[in-house]
Structures are given as structure tokens and as C-alpha cells.
């Protein structure tokens, strides 16, 4: 459901902060600043942050056609961080795919 309480400024600030977090985590991964045993948890965190951004952009009122590409990228990387017991995340991913008829079938 699209948010009716928070304003555009709230969403813009939230999205900017979350994108900065993704950049920091991604830079650490790329530079080798993450121990091998921590790589998967960091990749999972990045995926979670991207999912949060996608959800916030939907709540902000962004067009579904614009969000479709981001969702496709999340789907591609979901297998790498898949955890069958992470019910909430898995349901969120599936639910977002249901926003546009046929979206999940495309990927």
C-alpha cells in the first residue's frame, strides 16, 4: 500500500541514507575489507537494504514500470543470499512480484 502519512522529504532522506550504506558495504566487499567468512552476511545485508529501498520507493509512489528493473536485479541476486527460513524476506520478495501481473513469470 502506498504511504499516506510520510512526505516526499522523508522518503528522499531515507533512500539517500540507505544508498550510502549500500555503497559503504559494497566498497568494503570490493576492496577486500571483509573477511571471507563474513562475505555472505554482508551480501545478505546489501540485498536486504536494496529490498528496503525498493519497498520505500513503492511507498513513496514511484511508478511500477520504473521499479520493475530494480526488482529484476533483486531477483537475480536473491539466490545467492537465499535462506529458506527467512520467511518475512521471502514473502516480501514474492509480494513485490505480485504488484504487476506477470512480473514474477518474466524472471
- Condensed to tens digits (0 to 9), the pLDDT of residues 20-33 reads 999 999 999 999 99
C-alpha cell at 37: 567468512
Residue 14 is assigned to a structural domain of this protein: yes
The whole domain housing 84 covers: 8-106
User: What is the mean pLDDT of each successive set of 10 residues along the chain, which is 107 residues long?
Assistant: 84 97 98 97 98 94 89 92 92 84 59
- Cα separation, 61 vs 52, whole angstroms: 14
CB 24, CB 60: distance < 8 Å = no
Residue 66 is assigned to a structural domain of this protein: yes
Residue 19 is assigned to a structural domain of this protein: yes
Query: pTM (2 decimals)?
Result: 0.87
Residue 42 is assigned to a structural domain of this protein: yes
How many separate domains does the chain show? 1
Residue 1 is assigned to a structural domain of this protein: no
Residue 79 is assigned to a structural domain of this protein: yes
Residue 3 is assigned to a structural domain of this protein: no
Amino acid at each position: 500500500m502506498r504511504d499516506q502519512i510520510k512526505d516526499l522529504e522523508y522518503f528522499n532522506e531515507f533512500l539517500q541514507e540507505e544508498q550510502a550504506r549500500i555503497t559503504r558495504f559494497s566498497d568494503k566487499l570490493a576492496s577486500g575489507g571483509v573477511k571471507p567468512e563474513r562475505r555472505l552476511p554482508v551480501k545478505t545485508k546489501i540485498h536486504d537494504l536494496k529490498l528496503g529501498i525498493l519497498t520505500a520507493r513503492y511507498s513513496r509512489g514511484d511508478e511500477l514500470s520504473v521499479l520493475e528493473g530494480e526488482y529484476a536485479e533483486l531477483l537475480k541476486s536473491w539466490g545467492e543470499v537465499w535462506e529458506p527460513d527467512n520467511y518475512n524476506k521471502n514473502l516480501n520478495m514474492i509480494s513485490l512480484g505480485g504488484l504487476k501481473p506477470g512480473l514474477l513469470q518474466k524472471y
